[in-house]
A = this chain, B = another copy of it.
Amino acid sequence: MNKLDALPNILLLGPGPSGTHPEVYRALTSPTLGHLDPVFISLMDELKGMLQQLTHTRNEVTFPVSGTGSAGMEAGFVNFIEPGDSVLVLINGVFGMRMKDVAERLGARVDSLEFDWGTPVDPEAVKARLATRSYDLVAVVHAETSTGVRNPLDEIAPLVRASGALFLVDSVTGLGGIPVTLDDWGVDVFYSGTQKCLACPPGLAPFSASPRAIKRLQNRRGKVPNWYLDLSMIVNYWAGEKRAYHHTAPINMIYGLHAAVRVILEEGEDAVIARHQSAHEALVTGLEDLGLELLVAPGHRLPMLNAVKVPEGVDEAGVRAAMLRDHGIEFGAGLGPLAGKIWRIGLMGHNARPEVVSRCLEALGACL
């Protein structure tokens, strides 16, 4: 018996991967082409254009990194900082902490501003810090998947830009669910992931770098200490005239991402964002009807990732296990200081729909 033929169909309402869109499944099985085939190269160009459209950027260097969202993070730091560079990381969850670890391993001098998990980055604190010190790069997570907090990019962006630092934004969970406007914000380095609101399996990291970032890359003192993620070579394949081979592109995953972004643009970015917001609001109403509370205050909540406080006396892991076993629904657990204290309920991409919210609430009500 081949186990793959008997996989359960689970409704993925955790922090990602989310449910794969039917069009994406179909795309994954399109015939594999060579990575230098002219037809494949025209698909790459289309994908690049669609990613530029979805992230609102004119950055020439816009393409998917050949790894998951965390590879996007690695690429975002390893290309643009060198040993001794000063970096400020704004931290209010797991992924801010991860950025600090990534940057420190690369020899950067890393400062951080930390905020309570479940609260947003405070722009006033950022402003005060940037008034006293200058940094080569400032990094922030747009959508903190570990807590469900949406950080106020509109307020943080102008502060970082005024400081002269490169501005790095992680929107692994945000892209395709809330607006990502790279050029308006003045973002220099951006990455996302496929397995959240893009409704595509994990494996690629949509990435973009501004001309300013590329200039920094070109003026490095030393080679990028990571051959696989060295943008100075990868751009020759994704954006160069000669399409020089670097590493073999993940062909069929790129088909999947192509379909995922096309589906979003066809529905319309505004409609997709509104759909995420209204699914979120319906979920919150239903959770409150069940007597449950969210971790994050209104106004700072991500629509696609809802951190729900586990009520006193309720078995956190037991409820998740029952949801999976009896209802075929996956929730996420809390991480770090929030382990055992929250459930993370994702309504991402194809799952941000009223019928999914209803099924989720009904099952959760039965499990409580």
**Residues in B whose Cβ lies below 8 Å from that of A131:** none
Q: Is A309 an interface residue (CB 8 A)?
A: no
Q: A67-B67, A227-B101 are in contact. Are A4 and B259 (CB under 8 A)?
A: yes
Q: A74-B228, A226-B226, A251-B202 are in contact. Are A29 and B32 (CB under 8 A)?
A: no
A105 touching B224 by the CB < 8 A rule?
yes
B68 touching A247 by the CB < 8 A rule?
yes
B32 touching A250 by the CB < 8 A rule?
no
**Residues in B whose Cβ lies below 8 Å from that of A25:** 28-29
Cross-interface CB contact of A10 among B5, B37, B255, cutoff 8 Å: B37
The complex places the Cα of A45 from the Cα of B274 at a distance, in Å, of: 41
The complex places the Cα of A212 from the Cα of B237 at a distance, in Å, of: 37
**Residues in B whose Cβ lies below 8 Å from that of A69:** 247-248
Contact with B along A326-365 (1 / 0, CB 8 A): 0000100001000000000000000000000000000000
Q: Which chain B residue has the least Cβ–Cβ distance from A42?
A: B3
B203 touching A17 by the CB < 8 A rule?
no
Contact with B along A1-26 (1 / 0, CB 8 A): 01111011110101011011000011
A225 touching B31 by the CB < 8 A rule?
no
B3 touching A31 by the CB < 8 A rule?
no
Question: Chain B CB within 10 Å — which of A19, A25, A46, A335 has the most?
Answer: A25
Q: Which chain B residue has the least Cβ–Cβ distance from A227?
A: B102
Q: A67-B71, A106-B225 are in contact. Are A253 and B203 (CB under 8 A)?
A: yes
**Residues in B whose Cβ lies below 8 Å from that of A8:** 31, 33, 39
Q: Which chain B residue has the least Cβ–Cβ distance from A196?
A: B248
Contact with B along A263-292 (1 / 0, CB 8 A): 000000000000000000000000000000
A248 touching B16 by the CB < 8 A rule?
yes
**Residues in B whose Cβ lies below 8 Å from that of A224:** 105
List 18 additional A-B contacts (Cβ < 8 Å) besides A68-B247, A102-B227: A8-B31, A8-B33, A9-B31, A12-B32, A17-B32, A28-B29, A35-B202, A68-B248, A68-B249, A69-B248, A70-B248, A71-B247, A73-B228, A74-B226, A105-B224, A106-B225, A201-B250, A253-B253
Interface residues of A (CB under 8 A from B): 2-5, 7-10, 12, 14, 16-17, 19-20, 25-35, 37, 39, 42-43, 46, 66-71, 73-74, 78, 98, 101-102, 104-107, 193, 195, 201-203, 223-229, 245-253, 255-256, 258-259, 262, 324, 330, 335
